Amino acid sequence: MARTTAVPAILAAAAIGLALPGCAGPDREYSQTQLSALQTREYDAGFDKTFDAAVAALFDAGFGVYGSDKRGGVVSGRRSGEGVQLKLDHLTDARTAVRISTLEWGQARVNEAMIKELHDLLNRRLTGALTAPPAGR
């Protein structure tokens, strides 16, 4: 009798163990240096061009841009439960730094994959590897 109840109990425990890690893993601790290196990239383009590329990258990744302050260099986006904030800093007339911070369900949480995805899309926009279709309307 004990054996018949033990097997389903083990199955239940295994089910929880398998299902939960798919939703969320433990948070990793980052030093300030690690975080800066992960979030910030510098681009060989002026502020206006980089800002446009950043907005385009958010659209390309399916984010809804719900907040923007171009003069302050800030733009915020949302995609399902994920959020993102981009901070642009003018370094020189031909160089701009972009820092990408991520949120999950309203809380600041480092999402390395999302940061990389957006930096890569931004870079593709700036290098002309990703552009609007040539056709008109």
Partner 1 sequence: MPPFRAALLVLAVALAGCEAPPPPISAEQRIALETRRFDQPRDAVARAAATALLDAGYIIRSSDFEAGLVCGERRAAYAQEAHYARAGGLGAWPSITDLAVVWVHAEPPGAGARLHLESCGAPLLDPAAYDAFWRRLDARLLPKEAPR
Interacting residue ranges for partner 1, rule: CB under 8 A: 4-5, 8-9, 11-12, 15-16, 19-20, 22-23, 51-52, 55-56, 59-71, 75, 78-81, 121, 124, 130-133, 136-137
Closest CA to 94 of 69, 68, 128, 126: 126
CB of 38 to partner 1, least distance (A): 22
CB of 116 closer than 8 Å to CB of 124: no
CB of 32 to partner 1, least distance (A): 29
In the bound state with partner 1, the residue whose beta carbon lies nearer, of 56 and 114, is 56
Task: Please tell me the distance from the alpha carbon of residue 76 to that of residue 84, in angstroms, as a whole number.
Answer: 6
CB of 114 to partner 1, least distance (A): 14
3-class secondary structure, 110: coil
Distance of CA 113 to CAs 23, 29, 93, Å?
15, 16, 30
CB of 36 to partner 1, least distance (A): 25
